[in-house]
Amino acid sequence: MIDVECYPLEYFENFKKKSNAKSYKDDCDSFELREKIRDDLLQKQKYQCAYCEKKIYKKNSHIEHIRQRDKFHKLECEYTNLVLSCNDENSCGKYKDSNKNPIAKQWQDEFIHPVVDNPKKYFIFNENGEILSFNQNAMKTIKYLNLNNPKLTRLRKNIILQLSYMDDVDNLLDYFNEFENLVKEYI
Ligand SMILES: [Zn+2]
């Protein structure tokens, strides 16, 4: 999970003031605004999904409400509640809010927050490409976002394997350009 910096986006703050925005869906339905949000978050997240750290671009990502809009109305238009997530149906933002997710209804507000918490403190990776934690909420977060689905663990394992042959290459973070916390752990 990416540690997303929490400074506000001036354009969004001005937009909210001008339009007295209360609902994200109705009051923030502006193409220009959403483009600005995407551009800013892509920079902050270094083009990685906030949850799984896979490479994302504008076209294969969506603006994600960390705390669900329908349950946390007050956070709907808060910039600190927004990140960009990949569009994978089996993990991250889309999975989190879907009917497929067996724990979505029972548990959702204590999970590790990419903006407010410092996710680096909570997660590690084993050599099979699995993400692990010793913290209860972080363990639930892994399940909640399905961060150990087979596709993701395969991708991570593959990177670990590549890293084991690449110890003389400079700037490995730039080389892979995704999964930054995994690469940092295995450098
Ligand atoms: Zn993702």
- Which pLDDT tens digit goes with each residue over 90-117? 999 999 989 999 888 776 678 899 999 9
pLDDT of residue 73: 83
Pairing of strands 124-125, 131-132: antiparallel
Whole-number Å distance, alpha carbon 7 to ligand 1 midpoint, is: 22
On whether residue 68 sits in a domain, the answer given is yes
| Separation of alpha carbons 79 and 49, rounded Å | 17
CA of 53 to the centre of ligand 1 (A): 6
Residue 53 lies in a domain: yes
More confident site: 174 or 179: 179
Q: Assess if residue 81 is contained within a domain.
A: yes
In a domain, 180, yes or no: yes
Task: Report yes or no on 2 lying in a domain.
Answer: no
Q: What is the pLDDT of residue 21?
A: 83
Give the mean pLDDT of 120-141: 95
57 CA distance to ligand 1 centroid (A)? 12
Judge whether 75 lies within some domain: yes
Task: Specify the number of domains making up the chain.
Answer: 1
Residue 37 CA to ligand 1 center (angstroms) comes to 18
Residues in the 5 Å CB sphere of ion ligand 1: 49, 51-52, 86, 92
Written in H, E and C, the secondary structure of the chain is CCCCCCCCCHHHHHHHHHHCCCCHHHHCCCHHHHHHHHHHHHHHCCCECCCCCCECCCCCEEEEECCCCCCCHHHCCCHHHEEEEECCCCCHHHHHCCCCCCCCCCCCCCCCCCCCCCHHHCCEECCCCCEECCCHHHHHHHHHCCCCCHHHHHHHHHHHHHHHCCCCCCCHHHHHCCCHHHHHHHC
Q: What is the pTM of this model?
A: 0.93
Asked whether residue 6 carries a pLDDT value surpassing 90, the answer given is: no
Kindly give the distance from the C-alpha atom of residue 153 to the centroid of ligand 1, in angstroms, as a whole number. 12
pLDDT score of 70 = 79
Any domain includes 5: no
- Residue 102 located in a structural domain: yes
**CA 20 to centroid of ligand 1, rounded, Å:** 32
pLDDT digits (tens, 9 = 90+) for 150-163: 999 999 999 999 98
For the stretch 61-101, pLDDT in tens is: 999 999 888 788 888 889 999 999 999 999 999 999 899 99
Ligand 1 center–CA 71 separation, angstroms: 22
pLDDT recorded at residue 108:
61
Phi and psi torsions of 18, nearest 5°: -65, -40
- Whole-number Å distance, alpha carbon 48 to ligand 1 midpoint, is 8
Boundaries of domain holding 116: 10-186
Q: What are the structure tokens assigned to 128, written together?
A: 């099979």
The chain-wide mean pLDDT, for the chain, equals: 91
Question: Average pLDDT, stretch 30-35?
Answer: 93
**Ligand 1 center to residue 170 CA distance, Å?**
26
